[in-house]
Protein backbone atom coordinates (compact mmCIF):
# COMPACT_ATOMS: atom_id res chain seq x y z
CA UNK A 1 0.00 0.00 0.00
CA UNK A 2 1.31 3.45 -0.83
CA UNK A 3 0.67 7.16 -0.85
CA UNK A 4 2.20 9.38 -3.53
CA UNK A 5 3.16 13.04 -3.58
CA UNK A 6 3.96 14.88 -6.81
CA UNK A 7 5.59 18.27 -6.20
CA UNK A 8 6.01 20.80 -9.03
CA UNK A 9 6.49 18.04 -11.61
CA UNK A 10 7.46 19.26 -15.09
CA UNK A 11 8.23 17.39 -18.29
CA UNK A 12 10.00 18.97 -21.25
CA UNK A 13 10.62 17.29 -24.58
CA UNK A 14 13.56 19.26 -25.99
CA UNK A 15 13.42 22.93 -25.04
CA UNK A 16 10.27 23.73 -26.99
CA UNK A 17 7.53 21.35 -25.86
CA UNK A 18 6.38 21.61 -22.23
CA UNK A 19 4.24 18.47 -21.85
CA UNK A 20 3.44 18.62 -18.10
CA UNK A 21 3.43 21.91 -16.21
CA UNK A 22 3.87 22.23 -12.44
CA UNK A 23 1.87 19.12 -11.54
CA UNK A 24 1.08 19.10 -7.81
CA UNK A 25 -0.93 16.17 -6.49
CA UNK A 26 -1.21 14.15 -3.29
CA UNK A 27 -2.64 10.64 -3.66
CA UNK A 28 -3.68 8.89 -0.46
CA UNK A 29 -3.15 5.21 0.24
CA UNK A 30 -5.85 2.98 -1.37
CA UNK A 31 -7.27 5.84 -3.46
CA UNK A 32 -8.56 5.29 -6.99
CA UNK A 33 -7.35 8.38 -8.87
CA UNK A 34 -8.40 9.07 -12.46
CA UNK A 35 -6.34 11.28 -14.77
CA UNK A 36 -8.69 12.44 -17.52
CA UNK A 37 -8.45 14.84 -20.43
CA UNK A 38 -8.24 15.01 -24.23
CA UNK A 39 -5.39 13.51 -26.25
CA UNK A 40 -2.13 15.36 -25.69
CA UNK A 41 -3.08 16.82 -22.29
CA UNK A 42 -0.17 15.13 -20.45
CA UNK A 43 -2.06 12.42 -18.54
CA UNK A 44 -0.14 9.42 -19.95
CA UNK A 45 3.16 11.30 -19.63
CA UNK A 46 2.38 11.93 -15.95
CA UNK A 47 1.64 8.23 -15.45
CA UNK A 48 4.86 7.21 -17.17
CA UNK A 49 6.87 9.58 -14.96
CA UNK A 50 5.33 7.92 -11.89
CA UNK A 51 6.30 4.52 -13.34
CA UNK A 52 9.83 5.69 -14.10
CA UNK A 53 9.42 5.14 -17.84
CA UNK A 54 9.84 8.88 -18.46
CA UNK A 55 12.46 11.06 -16.80
CA UNK A 56 11.13 13.90 -14.64
CA UNK A 57 12.55 17.18 -16.01
CA UNK A 58 12.03 18.99 -12.71
CA UNK A 59 10.12 18.49 -9.47
CA UNK A 60 9.94 15.70 -6.91
CA UNK A 61 8.06 12.40 -6.78
CA UNK A 62 7.60 10.67 -3.44
CA UNK A 63 6.22 7.17 -2.86
CA UNK A 64 5.58 6.53 0.83
CA UNK A 65 7.65 9.61 1.72
CA UNK A 66 10.65 8.29 -0.24
CA UNK A 67 12.04 10.42 -3.07
CA UNK A 68 12.06 8.15 -6.14
CA UNK A 69 13.10 10.48 -8.99
CA UNK A 70 16.27 8.46 -9.58
CA UNK A 71 14.94 5.04 -8.54
CA UNK A 72 14.77 2.45 -11.35
CA UNK A 73 11.26 1.44 -12.49
CA UNK A 74 11.77 -2.15 -11.28
CA UNK A 75 12.58 -0.89 -7.79
CA UNK A 76 9.53 1.39 -7.37
CA UNK A 77 7.17 -1.52 -6.56
CA UNK A 78 4.70 -0.38 -9.21
CA UNK A 79 2.79 -2.44 -11.77
CA UNK A 80 1.55 -0.95 -15.03
CA UNK A 81 -1.25 -2.16 -17.31
CA UNK A 82 -0.94 -0.86 -20.88
CA UNK A 83 -3.56 -0.01 -23.50
CA UNK A 84 -2.38 -2.74 -25.89
CA UNK A 85 -2.11 -5.55 -23.28
CA UNK A 86 1.64 -6.08 -24.10
CA UNK A 87 1.45 -9.88 -23.72
CA UNK A 88 4.17 -12.23 -24.98
CA UNK A 89 2.50 -14.03 -27.93
CA UNK A 90 4.66 -17.19 -27.68
CA UNK A 91 3.91 -17.74 -23.97
CA UNK A 92 0.84 -19.27 -22.35
CA UNK A 93 -1.38 -17.19 -20.08
CA UNK A 94 0.27 -18.84 -17.07
CA UNK A 95 3.79 -17.99 -18.30
CA UNK A 96 2.76 -14.40 -19.14
CA UNK A 97 1.47 -13.91 -15.61
CA UNK A 98 4.44 -15.71 -14.03
CA UNK A 99 7.16 -13.98 -16.04
CA UNK A 100 7.87 -11.15 -13.59
CA UNK A 101 7.90 -13.57 -10.65
CA UNK A 102 10.43 -15.82 -12.39
CA UNK A 103 12.71 -12.80 -12.87
CA UNK A 104 12.51 -12.30 -9.11
CA UNK A 105 13.75 -15.90 -8.64
CA UNK A 106 10.63 -17.00 -6.74
CA UNK A 107 10.10 -20.70 -6.11
CA UNK A 108 7.86 -22.71 -8.48
CA UNK A 109 5.41 -23.39 -5.64
CA UNK A 110 5.08 -19.70 -4.76
CA UNK A 111 4.64 -18.72 -8.43
CA UNK A 112 1.96 -21.39 -8.89
CA UNK A 113 0.08 -20.15 -5.83
CA UNK A 114 0.20 -16.47 -6.81
CA UNK A 115 -0.84 -17.10 -10.44
CA UNK A 116 -3.72 -19.37 -9.38
CA UNK A 117 -4.94 -16.79 -6.84
CA UNK A 118 -4.87 -14.00 -9.45
CA UNK A 119 -6.57 -16.22 -12.04
CA UNK A 120 -9.29 -17.02 -9.49
CA UNK A 121 -9.90 -13.31 -8.80
CA UNK A 122 -10.13 -12.54 -12.54
CA UNK A 123 -12.09 -15.67 -13.47
CA UNK A 124 -9.51 -16.86 -16.04
CA UNK A 125 -8.39 -20.15 -14.45
CA UNK A 126 -9.56 -22.18 -17.42
CA UNK A 127 -7.43 -20.01 -19.76
CA UNK A 128 -4.03 -20.58 -18.14
CA UNK A 129 -2.81 -23.03 -20.82
CA UNK A 130 -3.93 -20.91 -23.79
CA UNK A 131 -1.83 -18.43 -25.76
CA UNK A 132 -2.88 -14.77 -26.26
CA UNK A 133 -4.01 -15.33 -29.88
CA UNK A 134 -6.65 -17.76 -28.58
CA UNK A 135 -8.19 -15.12 -26.29
CA UNK A 136 -10.77 -12.38 -26.79
CA UNK A 137 -9.91 -8.72 -26.10
CA UNK A 138 -11.54 -8.84 -22.67
CA UNK A 139 -9.70 -12.04 -21.74
CA UNK A 140 -6.35 -10.54 -22.82
CA UNK A 141 -7.04 -7.50 -20.68
CA UNK A 142 -7.74 -9.76 -17.70
CA UNK A 143 -4.41 -11.52 -18.29
CA UNK A 144 -2.64 -8.14 -18.35
CA UNK A 145 -4.34 -7.26 -15.06
CA UNK A 146 -3.38 -10.67 -13.65
CA UNK A 147 0.27 -10.12 -14.53
CA UNK A 148 0.14 -6.92 -12.47
CA UNK A 149 -1.80 -8.48 -9.57
CA UNK A 150 0.67 -11.35 -8.97
CA UNK A 151 3.41 -8.86 -8.21
CA UNK A 152 1.37 -7.42 -5.30
CA UNK A 153 2.63 -3.90 -6.05
CA UNK A 154 2.16 -0.83 -3.89
CA UNK A 155 0.59 1.06 -6.80
CA UNK A 156 -1.34 -0.02 -9.90
CA UNK A 157 -0.93 2.23 -12.95
CA UNK A 158 -3.40 1.79 -15.83
CA UNK A 159 -2.98 3.59 -19.14
CA UNK A 160 -6.33 3.55 -21.02
CA UNK A 161 -6.69 -0.22 -20.51
CA UNK A 162 -10.23 -0.42 -21.91
CA UNK A 163 -9.95 1.71 -25.05
CA UNK A 164 -9.39 -1.31 -27.34
CA UNK A 165 -12.56 -3.08 -26.16
CA UNK A 166 -16.06 -2.85 -27.59
CA UNK A 167 -18.72 -0.81 -25.75
CA UNK A 168 -20.41 -3.71 -23.93
CA UNK A 169 -17.10 -5.19 -22.79
CA UNK A 170 -15.90 -1.78 -21.56
CA UNK A 171 -18.91 -1.53 -19.26
CA UNK A 172 -18.23 -5.02 -17.91
CA UNK A 173 -14.50 -4.39 -17.41
CA UNK A 174 -15.20 -1.07 -15.63
CA UNK A 175 -17.18 -3.04 -13.09
CA UNK A 176 -14.44 -5.70 -12.85
CA UNK A 177 -11.71 -3.10 -12.18
CA UNK A 178 -13.87 -1.42 -9.52
CA UNK A 179 -14.34 -4.78 -7.78
CA UNK A 180 -10.62 -5.45 -8.10
CA UNK A 181 -9.77 -2.17 -6.38
CA UNK A 182 -12.09 -2.98 -3.47
CA UNK A 183 -10.69 -6.50 -3.18
CA UNK A 184 -6.98 -5.61 -3.40
CA UNK A 185 -7.18 -2.43 -1.27
CA UNK A 186 -4.28 -0.92 -3.21
CA UNK A 187 -3.64 2.52 -4.70
CA UNK A 188 -4.87 2.76 -8.32
CA UNK A 189 -3.94 5.51 -10.79
CA UNK A 190 -5.94 5.24 -13.99
CA UNK A 191 -5.58 7.26 -17.20
CA UNK A 192 -8.47 7.71 -19.63
CA UNK A 193 -9.90 10.19 -22.13
CA UNK A 194 -13.39 8.75 -21.52
CA UNK A 195 -15.26 10.93 -19.03
CA UNK A 196 -17.80 8.13 -18.40
CA UNK A 197 -14.98 5.92 -17.08
CA UNK A 198 -13.75 8.84 -14.99
CA UNK A 199 -17.17 9.51 -13.42
CA UNK A 200 -17.98 5.87 -12.65
CA UNK A 201 -14.63 4.57 -11.38
CA UNK A 202 -12.61 7.17 -9.51
CA UNK A 203 -12.72 8.30 -5.89
CA UNK A 204 -11.18 11.53 -7.22
CA UNK A 205 -10.75 12.89 -10.73
CA UNK A 206 -7.82 14.97 -12.00
CA UNK A 207 -8.92 16.91 -15.11
CA UNK A 208 -6.00 17.97 -17.33
CA UNK A 209 -5.64 20.22 -20.36
CA UNK A 210 -2.44 21.23 -22.17
CA UNK A 211 -0.29 19.73 -19.40
CA UNK A 212 -2.04 21.75 -16.66
CA UNK A 213 -4.34 20.39 -13.95
CA UNK A 214 -7.69 22.17 -14.26
CA UNK A 215 -9.50 20.68 -11.24
CA UNK A 216 -9.10 17.88 -8.69
CA UNK A 217 -12.24 16.69 -6.89
CA UNK A 218 -14.61 13.77 -6.40
CA UNK A 219 -16.84 12.97 -9.42
CA UNK A 220 -20.00 14.62 -8.05
CA UNK A 221 -18.19 17.87 -7.21
CA UNK A 222 -16.55 17.96 -10.65
CA UNK A 223 -19.98 17.52 -12.27
CA UNK A 224 -21.95 19.96 -10.10
CA UNK A 225 -19.26 22.60 -9.50
CA UNK A 226 -16.87 22.68 -12.48
CA UNK A 227 -14.00 25.10 -11.88
CA UNK A 228 -13.95 26.49 -15.39
CA UNK A 229 -15.43 26.38 -18.88
CA UNK A 230 -13.19 23.51 -20.02
CA UNK A 231 -14.12 21.19 -17.11
CA UNK A 232 -17.80 22.05 -17.54
CA UNK A 233 -17.71 21.14 -21.22
CA UNK A 234 -15.54 18.04 -20.83
CA UNK A 235 -17.39 16.32 -17.97
CA UNK A 236 -20.97 15.32 -18.72
CA UNK A 237 -22.59 13.59 -21.68
CA UNK A 238 -24.01 15.16 -23.79
CA UNK A 239 -21.80 18.12 -22.98
CA UNK A 240 -23.04 21.29 -21.30
CA UNK A 241 -24.71 23.97 -23.43
CA UNK A 242 -22.96 27.37 -23.47
CA UNK A 243 -24.63 30.70 -24.29
CA UNK A 244 -22.89 34.10 -24.42
CA UNK A 245 -25.02 36.50 -22.36
CA UNK A 246 -25.03 39.94 -20.82
CA UNK A 247 -26.09 40.35 -17.18
CA UNK A 248 -28.68 43.11 -16.73
CA UNK A 249 -30.38 44.37 -13.56
CA UNK A 250 -34.09 45.25 -13.87
CA UNK A 251 -35.62 46.45 -10.62
CA UNK A 252 -34.64 43.94 -7.96
CA UNK A 253 -34.02 41.13 -10.49
CA UNK A 254 -31.00 40.15 -12.58
CA UNK A 255 -31.38 38.61 -16.03
CA UNK A 256 -29.04 36.89 -18.48
CA UNK A 257 -29.90 38.45 -21.84
CA UNK A 258 -29.00 37.10 -25.30
CA UNK A 259 -30.70 38.24 -28.50
CA UNK A 260 -34.37 38.79 -27.74
CA UNK A 261 -34.33 36.29 -24.89
CA UNK A 262 -33.84 36.76 -21.18
CA UNK A 263 -33.47 34.24 -18.36
CA UNK A 264 -33.98 35.10 -14.70
CA UNK A 265 -30.94 34.49 -12.48
CA UNK A 266 -32.06 32.94 -9.14
CA UNK A 267 -31.58 35.11 -6.06
CA UNK A 268 -28.69 33.15 -4.53
CA UNK A 269 -26.69 33.28 -7.78
CA UNK A 270 -27.76 36.90 -8.45
CA UNK A 271 -26.32 37.97 -5.09
CA UNK A 272 -22.94 36.46 -6.06
CA UNK A 273 -22.72 38.11 -9.49
CA UNK A 274 -23.77 41.45 -8.00
CA UNK A 275 -21.21 41.19 -5.20
CA UNK A 276 -18.51 40.36 -7.77
CA UNK A 277 -19.53 43.33 -9.95
CA UNK A 278 -20.64 41.39 -13.05
CA UNK A 279 -23.78 43.49 -13.72
CA UNK A 280 -23.60 44.88 -17.26
CA UNK A 281 -20.80 42.50 -18.23
CA UNK A 282 -20.69 39.69 -20.78
CA UNK A 283 -20.56 36.21 -19.27
CA UNK A 284 -20.98 32.61 -20.46
CA UNK A 285 -24.10 30.81 -19.23
CA UNK A 286 -23.78 27.01 -18.91
CA UNK A 287 -26.82 24.71 -18.84
CA UNK A 288 -26.77 20.92 -18.85
CA UNK A 289 -29.07 19.28 -21.45
CA UNK A 290 -31.18 17.64 -18.72
CA UNK A 291 -31.99 21.13 -17.36
CA UNK A 292 -33.63 22.28 -20.60
CA UNK A 293 -37.30 21.25 -20.54
CA UNK A 294 -39.80 21.16 -23.40
CA UNK A 295 -43.10 22.88 -22.55
CA UNK A 296 -44.93 19.80 -23.86
CA UNK A 297 -43.24 17.86 -21.05
CA UNK A 298 -45.20 17.51 -17.79
CA UNK A 299 -42.06 18.46 -15.84
CA UNK A 300 -41.81 21.92 -17.48
CA UNK A 301 -40.68 23.82 -14.35
CA UNK A 302 -40.34 27.53 -15.00
CA UNK A 303 -42.51 30.06 -16.82
CA UNK A 304 -40.07 32.96 -16.21
CA UNK A 305 -37.02 31.61 -18.03
CA UNK A 306 -38.11 30.40 -21.46
CA UNK A 307 -37.25 30.71 -25.13
CA UNK A 308 -38.47 29.22 -28.42
CA UNK A 309 -36.13 27.08 -30.54
CA UNK A 310 -36.35 24.92 -33.66
CA UNK A 311 -35.75 21.15 -33.52
CA UNK A 312 -32.96 20.30 -36.00
CA UNK A 313 -32.36 16.66 -35.01
CA UNK A 314 -34.25 14.23 -32.79
CA UNK A 315 -32.51 11.13 -31.36
CA UNK A 316 -34.72 8.56 -29.64
CA UNK A 317 -32.65 6.50 -27.19
CA UNK A 318 -35.44 4.46 -25.62
CA UNK A 319 -35.52 5.85 -22.08
CA UNK A 320 -34.99 9.44 -23.24
CA UNK A 321 -34.82 11.61 -26.34
CA UNK A 322 -32.06 14.05 -27.35
CA UNK A 323 -33.27 17.19 -29.11
CA UNK A 324 -30.67 19.18 -31.08
CA UNK A 325 -32.06 22.72 -31.09
CA UNK A 326 -31.31 25.87 -33.06
CA UNK A 327 -31.85 29.23 -31.36
CA UNK A 328 -30.78 32.01 -33.76
CA UNK A 329 -27.11 31.03 -34.33
CA UNK A 330 -26.81 29.02 -31.08
CA UNK A 331 -26.79 25.21 -31.07
CA UNK A 332 -28.27 23.55 -27.98
CA UNK A 333 -29.04 20.03 -26.78
CA UNK A 334 -32.01 19.10 -24.58
CA UNK A 335 -32.86 15.73 -23.00
CA UNK A 336 -36.63 15.18 -22.86
CA UNK A 337 -39.13 12.37 -22.22
CA UNK A 338 -39.31 9.82 -25.07
CA UNK A 339 -43.08 10.04 -25.50
CA UNK A 340 -43.33 13.73 -26.43
CA UNK A 341 -45.28 14.34 -29.65
CA UNK A 342 -42.79 16.68 -31.33
CA UNK A 343 -41.22 16.54 -34.78
CA UNK A 344 -38.07 17.74 -36.57
CA UNK A 345 -38.47 21.29 -37.88
CA UNK A 346 -41.06 22.17 -35.24
CA UNK A 347 -40.52 25.23 -33.04
CA UNK A 348 -41.06 24.46 -29.36
CA UNK A 349 -40.98 26.43 -26.15
CA UNK A 350 -38.08 25.52 -23.86
CA UNK A 351 -37.83 26.28 -20.15
CA UNK A 352 -34.49 26.52 -18.36
CA UNK A 353 -34.01 25.32 -14.78
CA UNK A 354 -31.89 28.31 -13.80
CA UNK A 355 -31.32 26.92 -10.31
CA UNK A 356 -28.97 24.44 -12.01
CA UNK A 357 -27.23 26.98 -14.30
CA UNK A 358 -23.49 27.73 -14.28
CA UNK A 359 -21.93 31.15 -14.89
CA UNK A 360 -18.42 31.69 -16.24
CA UNK A 361 -16.23 34.75 -16.71
CA UNK A 362 -15.93 35.31 -20.47
CA UNK A 363 -12.28 36.39 -20.30
CA UNK A 364 -10.76 34.04 -17.70
CA UNK A 365 -13.25 31.18 -18.33
CA UNK A 366 -13.30 30.56 -14.56
CA UNK A 367 -16.54 29.81 -12.72
CA UNK A 368 -18.10 32.94 -11.22
CA UNK A 369 -20.10 30.99 -8.64
DSSP secondary structure of 278-333: -TTSEEEEEE-GGGEEETTSTT---SSSEEEEEEEEEEE-SS-EEEEEEETTEEEE
Question: Domain 241-361, CATH 2.40.50.140 — does that match?
Answer: yes
pLDDT digits (tens, 9 = 90+) for 34-73: 999 999 999 999 999 999 999 999 999 999 999 999 999 9
- Distance, CA of 352 to CA of 313 (rounded, Å): 19
Average pLDDT score over residue span 26-36:
95
So where are the chain's domains?
A: 4-234, 241-361
Question: 4-234 and 241-361: same fold?
Answer: no
Q: Work out the pLDDT band at 184, boundaries 50, 70, 90.
A: confident
The pLDDT of residue 294 is above 90: no
Higher pLDDT, residue 221 or 81? 221
pLDDT digits (tens, 9 = 90+) for 119-160: 888 888 999 999 999 998 888 888 888 888 888 888 999 998
CA atoms lying within 13 Å on the CB side of residue 44:
11
Average confidence score pLDDT of the chain: 91
Write the secondary structure of 40-63 as one string of H (helix), E (strand) and C (coil). CCCHHHHHHHHHCCCCCCEEEEEE
Asked if residues 114 and 148 have their Cβ atoms less than 8 Å apart, the reply is: no
Q: Work out the pLDDT band at 301, boundaries 50, 70, 90.
A: low
What pLDDT, on a 0 to 100 scale, did the predictor assign at position 173? 81
Q: Work out the pLDDT band at 324, boundaries 50, 70, 90.
A: very high
What pLDDT, on a 0 to 100 scale, did the predictor assign at position 12? 93
Q: Work out the pLDDT band at 304, boundaries 50, 70, 90.
A: confident
Sheet with 321-327: strands ordered across: 292-294, 347-352, 306-316, 321-327, 330-336
Asked if residues 7 and 163 have their Cβ atoms less than 8 Å apart, the reply is: no
Average pLDDT score over residue span 269-291:
95
Q: Which class in CATH covers the domain with range 4-234?
A: alpha beta
Q: Looking at the DSSP assignment, which residues form a beta bridge with residue 307?
A: 350
- Tell me if residue 187 falls in helix, strand or coil: strand
Report pTM. 0.89
Average pLDDT score over residue span 269-297:
92
The pLDDT of residue 311 is above 90: yes
Q: Work out the pLDDT band at 1, boundaries 50, 70, 90.
A: low
Q: Which residues of 230-249 are buried (b: 16+ CB within 10 A; e: fewer)?
A: bbbebbbeeebbbbebbbee
Question: Do strands 241-250 and 282-287 pair parallel, antiparallel, or not at all (unpaired)?
Answer: antiparallel
Q: Which residues of 174-207 are buried (b: 16+ CB within 10 A; e: fewer)?
A: bebbeebbeebebbbbbbbbbbebbbebbebbbb
Average pLDDT score over residue span 190-211:
93
Report how many helices (DSSP H) and strands (DSSP E) the chain contains, helices first.
Answer: 9, 20
What pLDDT, on a 0 to 100 scale, did the predictor assign at position 300? 65
> 1 CB contacts (<8 Å, ≥6 apart)?
29, 30, 154, 185, 186, 187
pLDDT digits (tens, 9 = 90+) for 210-269: 999 999 999 999 999 999 999 999 999 899 999 999 999 998 999 999 999 999 999 999
Average pLDDT score over residue span 110-121:
89
Poorest-pLDDT segment among 80-84, 332-336, 346-350: 80-84
Amino acid sequence: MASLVLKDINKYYTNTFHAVKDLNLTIDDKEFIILVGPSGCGKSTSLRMIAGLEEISSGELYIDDKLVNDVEPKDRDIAMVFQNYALYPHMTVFDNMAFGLKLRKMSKEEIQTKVNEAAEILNIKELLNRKPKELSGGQRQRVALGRAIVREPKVFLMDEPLSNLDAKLRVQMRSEINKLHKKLQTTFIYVTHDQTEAMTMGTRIVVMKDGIVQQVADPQTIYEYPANLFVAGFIGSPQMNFINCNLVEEGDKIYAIFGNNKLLIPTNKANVVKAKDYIGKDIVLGIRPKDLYAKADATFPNEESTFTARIDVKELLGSETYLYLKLDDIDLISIVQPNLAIEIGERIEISVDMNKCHLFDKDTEQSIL
